[in-house]
Amino acid sequence: MQVPAIERYFFANWYVKHGRRFPWRRRGVTPFGILVTEMLLRQTRAEDVARVWTGFRRAYPSPDKLMRARREALQAWLRPLGLHQQRDNALRSVAQALVRRFGGSVPSAKEDLLSLPHVGHYIAAAVRLFAFGLREVLVDTNVTRLLSRLTGVPLGPDPRRDSRIHELACELCPDDGVKEHTYGLLDFAATVCRPRT
């Protein structure tokens, strides 16, 4: 199965002109900042995360600070996003693992990232791509829908784990400019290729 002919840098170029501008996409965001962002984005609209992101990162710039956060203060930041107790536990667990096992640094190796609590394949790939510039392909629900519509591949019960969808995403991904391509793909899928239209 192949994707239809699409200009090589279509999604990267689309991102430059139309992409969403979030604070975690600016230069200088640390690998820990990227990891925290991806954990906050789980089951949450990016626009909602953007509202609390800057203040949250100022309050908890490092794993050590996050690990030692007072529960009431941390949950106050997380409450607007929902699932605040779950997020509190997940973020605190990750921070503790980073401090105790990695000296407070976020590792770049996939196996190390996957060994962290509450970090699955998607978050590990996102951290490797956005924090370390390593070539990774990200497939979320919106990208799955887009690739299904482009190719006619039917969506199964768990489409994000469908190997055909991942193969299509890999085929679509250029060899360079992967970060901009991925931002464009994620944004196009979220804002143009909507669930109903």
- Cα dist. 59→64, 70, 74, 120 in Å? 11, 11, 9, 25
**Alpha-carbon distance 194 to 42, whole Å?**
19
Q: What is the pTM of this model?
A: 0.93
Q: Where are the alpha helices (DSSP H) in the chain?
A: 10-18, 31-41, 46-59, 63-67, 71-78, 84-102, 110-114, 121-132, 141-151, 163-172, 178-191
What value does the CA radius of gyration of the chain take, rounded to a whole number of Å?
17
Q: How confident is the model at residue 1 (pLDDT cuts 50, 70, 90)?
A: low
- pLDDT of 133 higher than 70: yes
27-55 pLDDT, tens digit per residue, is 999 999 999 999 999 999 999 999 999 99
Marked catalytic residue, from 38, 47, 72, 111: 38
Average pLDDT, the chain: 93
Specify the 3-state DSSP secondary structure of 126. helix
Q: Which residues contact 166 (CB under 8 A, 6 or more apart)?
A: 137, 139
3-16 pLDDT, tens digit per residue, is 667 777 899 999 99
Residue 167 a catalytic site member? no
Give the residue from 68, 81, 142, 135 showing the smallest Cα distance to 108: 135
Question: How many CA atoms lie within 13 Å of 186's alpha carbon, on the beta-carbon side?
Answer: 20
Backbone dihedral angles phi then psi of residue 144, each to the nearest 5 degrees: -60, -45
